[in-house]
Amino acid sequence: MKIINKNVDYALRSLIHIAKENGQVVSVSNLAEREKISKAFLRKILQILNKEKIVNSIKGKSGGFVLAKIPNEIFLMDLINIFQGKIKLLDCFVKKNICPQKKECILSKKMEKIEKMLIFEIKNISLASLLNGDGKDKPI
Amino acid sequence: MKIINKNVDYALRSLIHIAKENGQVVSVSNLAEREKISKAFLRKILQILNKEKIVNSIKGKSGGFVLAKIPNEIFLMDLINIFQGKIKLLDCFVKKNICPQKKECILSKKMEKIEKMLIFEIKNISLASLLNGDGKDKPI
DNA sequence: TTAAATGATACTATATTAGTATCATTTTGT
DNA sequence: ACAAAATGATACTAATATAGTATCATTTAA
Ligand code: SF4
Ligand code: SF4
């Protein structure tokens, strides 16, 4: 049971890659080759990131993508929300008001606590925090 | 994106239910009706729990299921492992040794930290801990 | 003017999750 | 004895999510 899917992983790796180019335009061909990811698949991901204004696209020959925000304004949580939807540890029936045990349910309370913790930790991961320590980037 | 699936939720709810019967045999018909869950679906779940020795089955008329362990020896983590496999926050390519960024990857380190935290918290949830405070059960 | 890029979108394939159905076997209660 | 009610085993279907491919249109720098 994996929690983060390939779209998110590839999106993140692409963003790290683009960030390291310091504003230079990066094409999908370039990215795909260097990251060993299918070009067609990566294109789709970058197109979504463009629509979501995480990156800006430059059309035409020698076009490609650049970051639309600075790295400390891009979060892993954004990517998860875009590609996988909101994180729900347990898709609890309390919310749908149909659970016969809801009045006395300790599970839902415990789960909500853990869910909050998980979300807090993931929210804390910015693109910038993933670049630090690498050398090529400027710490923020 | 929900993390815990219906098998696990239903299994847990069934176990809570069975635990509250204090050793009395509970049939799937009974469970299904009281929890408003499809009987055929629940049967399959209970059969798996039986194979995994979480519950014991009693065959024949007036048969059903009882817990095979005491509630503080049954963990949510067991159910997740049985029905969804091992929790992996990020199914990282480092483990498969094919990631071009692995040497300098901060993401995988951060993810491992969060994954450990998540697993620790979930490991901490026993069936007993979900019964406490209800009144019908004996705290352990 | 053409090569190389993105935009938009439709399509296919695979895996996971959810749910149903059937027949065999066991055992209690009458 | 025997029918009713339960589980065991297993095969099947349906729905959804994930992963990946393909195509045509448009843009633009070389
Ligand atoms: S049993 Fe608890 S966790 Fe499960 S659906 Fe009901 S309220 Fe939610
Ligand atoms: S980029 Fe990091 S997290 Fe992603 S596969 Fe490579 S090592 Fe793992």
Domains of chain B in start order, with CATH, are 6-132 (1.10.10.10)
**CB-based contact (8 Å) between A16 and chain B?**
yes
pLDDT tens, residue by residue, A15-33: 999 999 989 999 999 999 9
Each residue of A48-98: pLDDT tens digit?
999 999 999 999 999 999 999 999 999 999 999 999 999 989 877 666 555
Residues contacting nucleic strand C by the 7 Å CB criterion are: A 1, 27-30, 43-44, 46-47, 50-51, 57-65; B 5-7, 38, 40-41, 43-44, 59-63, 84
| pTM metric for this prediction | 0.88
User: A105 is written with which tokens?
Assistant: 């349910």
Cα distances (angstroms) measured from residue B19 to each of A10, A98, B14, B16, B100:
44, 22, 8, 5, 50
Q: What is the CA radius of gyration of chain A?
A: 18
Burial label for B63, CB within 10 Å (0-12, 13-18, 19+), is exposed
A126–chain B nearest CA distance, Å:
10
Tokens for B105? Answer: 């990857």
A109 φ/ψ angles, rounded to the nearest 5 degrees: -65, -45
What pLDDT was estimated at residue A137?
A: 34
The nearest alpha carbon in chain A to B118 belongs to A118
Greatest distance between any 2 Cα atoms in chain B: 62
Question: Ligand 1 centroid to B69 CA: how many Å?
Answer: 22
Q: Whose CA is nearest to atom 7 of ligand 2?
A: B102
- Walk along chain B (140 residues) and give the pLDDT tens digit of each residue: 889 999 999 999 999 999 999 899 999 999 999 988 999 999 999 999 999 999 999 999 999 999 999 999 999 999 999 999 999 898 776 665 556 566 667 888 888 899 999 999 999 999 999 886 543 333 33
